[in-house]
Homo-oligomer: A and B are copies of this chain.
Amino acid sequence: MTNIIPVIMSGGAGSRLWPLSRQAMPKQLLPLVTEQTMVQETAERFDGDIFTDPVFICNALHVDGIRAQMAEIGRDVSAFIVEPVGRNTAPCAVVAAVHAAAQDEEALVMLVPADHHVKKPEKFRDVIAKAIPTAKAGYLVTFGITPDGPETGYGYIAQGEALEEGVYKVDAFAEKPDLETAKAYLEEGRYAWNAGIFLFSPESFLGEAQSYASEIATEAKKAYERASHNGNVIDLNKEIFAACPSESIDYAIMEQTNKAAIVPCEIGWNDIGSYTSLQAARAEIKSDDQGNAINGSVMVEASENCLVHTDSLPVSIIGLSNVGVIVHEGEVMVVALDQAQVVKKIVTRLKDSGETHRL
A interface residue numbers (CB < 8 A to B): 19, 299, 301-302, 310, 313-320, 323, 325, 327, 330-336, 338-340, 342-343, 345-346, 349, 358
Q: Which residues of chain B have C-beta atoms less than 8 A from A335's C-beta?
A: 316-320
Task: Say which residue of B19, B331, B334, B343 sits within 8 Å of A334 (CB atoms).
Answer: B334
Contact present for A316 and B336 (CB under 8 Å): no
Contact present for A323 and B325 (CB under 8 Å): no
Least CB distance from A276 to B in Å reads: 11
Q: Which residues of chain B have C-beta atoms less than 8 A from A338's C-beta?
A: 319
Bound form: Cα–Cα A172–B58 in Å: 75
Q: Which residues of chain B have C-beta atoms less than 8 A from A332's C-beta?
A: 310, 313-316, 325, 327, 332
Least CB distance from A296 to B in Å reads: 10
Contact present for B302 and A342 (CB under 8 Å): yes
Q: Which residues of chain B have C-beta atoms less than 8 A from A349's C-beta?
A: 299
In the complex, the 9 A-B pairs of residues with the closest C-beta atoms, listed nearest first: A319-B339, A319-B336, A318-B335, A315-B332, A316-B333, A318-B342, A317-B334, A313-B332, A316-B346
Contact present for B319 and A331 (CB under 8 Å): no
Bound form: Cα–Cα A238–B255 in Å: 84
Q: Which residues of chain B have C-beta atoms less than 8 A from A302's C-beta?
A: 336, 339, 342
Least CB distance from A330 to B in Å reads: 6
Enumerate 16 A-B pairs (CB-CB under 8 Å) in ascending A order: A301-B345, A302-B342, A310-B332, A313-B331, A313-B332, A315-B332, A316-B332, A316-B334, A318-B339, A319-B338, A320-B323, A320-B334, A320-B336, A323-B323, A325-B334, A332-B332
Contact present for B310 and A342 (CB under 8 Å): no
Q: Which residues of chain B have C-beta atoms less than 8 A from A358's C-beta?
A: 314
Bound form: Cα–Cα A338–B319 in Å: 8
Q: Which residues of chain B have C-beta atoms less than 8 A from A342's C-beta?
A: 301-302, 318-319
Least CB distance from A111 to B in Å reads: 33
Bound form: Cα–Cα A310–B334 in Å: 13
Contact present for B331 and A346 (CB under 8 Å): no
Complex: chain B residue closest to A330, CB-CB: B313
Q: Which residues of chain B have C-beta atoms less than 8 A from A327's C-beta?
A: 313, 332
Bound form: Cα–Cα A331–B19 in Å: 18
Q: Which residues of chain B have C-beta atoms less than 8 A from A343's C-beta?
A: 318
Least CB distance from A215 to B in Å reads: 38
Complex: chain B residue closest to A350, CB-CB: B299
Least CB distance from A89 to B in Å reads: 28
Asked whether A346 and B310 contact (CB < 8 A) given A319-B339, A333-B318, the answer is no
Bound form: Cα–Cα A346–B325 in Å: 17
